[in-house]
Structure 1
Amino acid sequence: MSTLSILYKSFSGLQSFSHSLNNLSHNVANINTPGFKGTSVHFRDMLSDQNKGGGVHYTGETLKLTQGDISRTGQDSHLAIDGKGWFVLTDGEREYFTRAGQFEFDQWQLVDKSTGYKVLGIRDGNIQNFNLNHYNISSPQSTTSIQLKGNLNAGAATGTKVPAEGEEKLEAVYFNKLGEKHTLYFSFTKKTGNEWTVAVKKSETETLATHTIKFNGNGSPHADSANLSVKIDDNQSIKLNIGQSGTFANLTGYSSANSSVAFNAEDGREAGQVKGLSFDHTGKLSVEYTNGDKQDTLHVLLANLPNDQYLTSVGNSMFVYQERSEIVYGHGGQKMFGTIKGGSIEKSNVNMSHEFSEIIIVQRGYQASSQVLSVTNKMIEELYNSARGK
């Protein structure tokens, strides 16, 4: 065995430990990188021409695809996958896969914060950009029914008015088709028997409707008063819901000390702006609006990548996948996929204690290979000096 062979083996050892240290430094540097997947390096022994030990050579790296810890961020658009699956991003030409869910909305498009790539979603089986342009406003809804509750005194004298002159007006708020808020004014006048006249006004001078309200002997609304309505204009009519005959949940006609009526619009709303966003465990986004409306939108698209050998890192905690025929798409909670944690991110899966123990091993190995190299160098120097007769 030649001394030069020993030098080569020592150099190969130094190179292998340099590869290891380079990999360890990359892992440690990304300990706080969301969605980062650490790597392990691999080496194999080599044979010389005489089929004897020829040193070591570097054979590549393998991704560690274990899940990192999930950390709560409190930002609605941040997402983490608890279990299997990858988020799918696109730059408009190709797809990228990541576990780093630091997303944000840019003009209602959900994008990756670091690259600006668009996040893909799925709705009714159709894959599309996760875009909320159709959900950024809740449409207004016109009022169709106003509920009347309270009691009109059956013992009041004929001609009694509610409200009496000087008392606070009886008002009910309603919305038109444009979501504009308006007010109706109500006044009641006692007739003979247990009957009242209700006048509905849009203003002091504009009366929209006048109806007679009758009560049964037990104080419940008479059936003849079940279908009262007010025509606001050609586009809108509002039903006055005073209750059903034989029931006492709405307006009643009991004898009492006084009359008291309250109003509640049963529907209708103004246009609403986005108030809050929330993802459920399946990755479905629900949007809450300022008008009280709530709508379900898309699911965040997940991909199942069964064969790790086709994954290639392209930086930014993203990967491309070379074998498209094996990709299965879906959303959280389905078979083959984990669940989604909203307002959270998955942290790096690098184990710091493990990396430091590996660093110590690499350091010792590098020192040992360096020592072998140093001894071999002295042997060659001694041989050189002997050859020169020194």
Structure 2
Amino acid sequence: MLRSMYAGISGMKNFQTKLDVIGNNIANVNTSGFKKGRVTFQDMMSQTTAGAQAATDTRGGVNPSQVGLGSQLGTIDNIHTQGFRQTTNSPLDFALEGDGMFVVQNGDQTAYTRAGNFYLDESGDIVNPQGYYLIGYGVTTTQTGTDDEPVFEDEVNYDETGSLNIPDTAQSFSVQSNGTVSYIDEFGQPRVAGQIAIASFSNAAGLEKSGSNLFLNSENAGYNGIVAPETEGTASIVSGSLEMSNVDLSEEFTEMITAQRGFQANTRIITTSDEILQELVNLKR
């Protein structure tokens, strides 16, 4: 069989994968915290028909002659650029302005996300739509005053992490840009519920997508631990906003056209190779 036919088949398979990734990007154009994918190709091995020859005293050198055997899938990258910010005015909608990810936990499973749409459950814990607890630093409380008029002094304890809880007796609450969750208690005093923790990665593209806007740590993500927002180069938190998808529709449709034409061109290679084989078969009458 002709090598061009199998080269065309490899090209068709790769462009199918590229269209799959583009379709997923477009489907998640309005998904909070979604990070788009990108496909790259590589050439396959080449068949050498004549090797290179060095120059001699009487003639110059000769380059090798090689026939390529098609293309193969190189990488499917996750592009972790900043998505645009949408104002929602909901106090439990958080957008990260900069690097880092929220840490959420469900039992022993820890995941990471850029989607900041959180809620309060019936116990007052801050959770994501799947019920994962938002992880932050705890608080050490010192009480003075009397039982009728107590005075509380709250200090963030950076040695303790866990879920963040806002008591149901709180009159109001707010979240600062450094992740500190504050509320007004039943006595009218300002209190601190904790501070949101941010996970830092040296290679966020190495995280594994697990669905539901969640990422899992991997061997190549370069996990650097958790830190407070606005420290060690991590993001600040914007309350009342959400980070939306970083998908650019104009870019995706352009890539779709390129993939479609590339797929069509490879089908032409296959049909042309088939016509040549047909001519060879017709030599025997």
Q: What TM-score results when the alignment is normalised by the length of structure 2?
A: 0.82
Please list every run of at least 4 consecutive aligned residues from structure 1 whose deviation after the TM superposition is greater than 4 angstroms.
Answer: none
Q: Give the CA RMSD over aligned residues.
A: 1.8
CA shift in 2, pair 1:293/1:33, >3 Å: same
Deviation for aligned residue 1:78: 1.2
Distance 1:31 1:317 in 2: 13
Deviation for aligned residue 1:128: 2.5
Distance 1:327 1:364 in 2: 43
Alpha carbons 2:202, 2:222 under 8 Å: kept: no
What is the percentage of aligned positions where both structures have the same residue? 29
* Structure 1 residue aligned with 2:37: 39
Distance 2:262 2:198 in 1: 43
1:367 equivalent among 255, 264, 271: 264
How many residues are aligned here?
248
2:70 equivalent among 55, 75, 80: 55
Alpha carbons 2:42, 2:71 under 8 Å: kept: yes
Alignment partner of 2:14: what SS? helix
* Structure 1 residue aligned with 2:13: 15
Distance 1:33 1:16 in 2: 26
Deviation for aligned residue 1:309: 5.4
Unaligned ranges ≥5, structure 1: 138-272
Distance 1:65 1:309 in 2: 6
Alignment partner of 2:283: what SS? helix
Deviation for aligned residue 1:296: 1.8
Alpha carbons 2:203, 2:222 under 8 Å: kept: no
Larger Rg: 1
What amino acid maps onto 1:86 in structure 2?
M
Match status 1:111 vs 2:127? yes
Deviation for aligned residue 1:325: 7.5
Distance 1:88 1:366 in 2: 41
Distance 1:339 1:70 in 2: 13
2:90 equivalent among 59, 66, 75: 75
* Structure 2 residue aligned with 1:136: 167
Deviation for aligned residue 1:41: 0.9
Distance 1:127 1:59 in 2: 43
Alpha carbons 1:37, 1:317 under 8 Å: kept: no
Distance 1:326 1:362 in 2: 35
Alpha carbons 1:130, 1:300 under 8 Å: kept: no
Deviation for aligned residue 1:328: 2.7
Alpha carbons 1:122, 1:330 under 8 Å: kept: no
Alpha carbons 2:200, 2:234 under 8 Å: kept: yes
Q: What TM-score results when the alignment is normalised by the length of structure 1?
A: 0.60
Unaligned ranges ≥5, structure 2: 49-65, 139-156
Alpha carbons 1:127, 1:301 under 8 Å: kept: no
2:180 equivalent among 284, 298, 318: 284
Alignment partner of 2:9: what SS? helix
Distance 1:52 1:84 in 2: 45
1:243-282 alignment, distance < 5 Å: 273-282=169-178
Alpha carbons 1:109, 1:129 under 8 Å: kept: no
Indicate the larger mover: 299-308 or 326-335.
326-335
Alpha carbons 2:116, 2:242 under 8 Å: kept: yes
* Structure 1 residue aligned with 2:143: none
What amino acid maps onto 2:13 in structure 1?
Q
* Structure 2 residue aligned with 1:338: 235
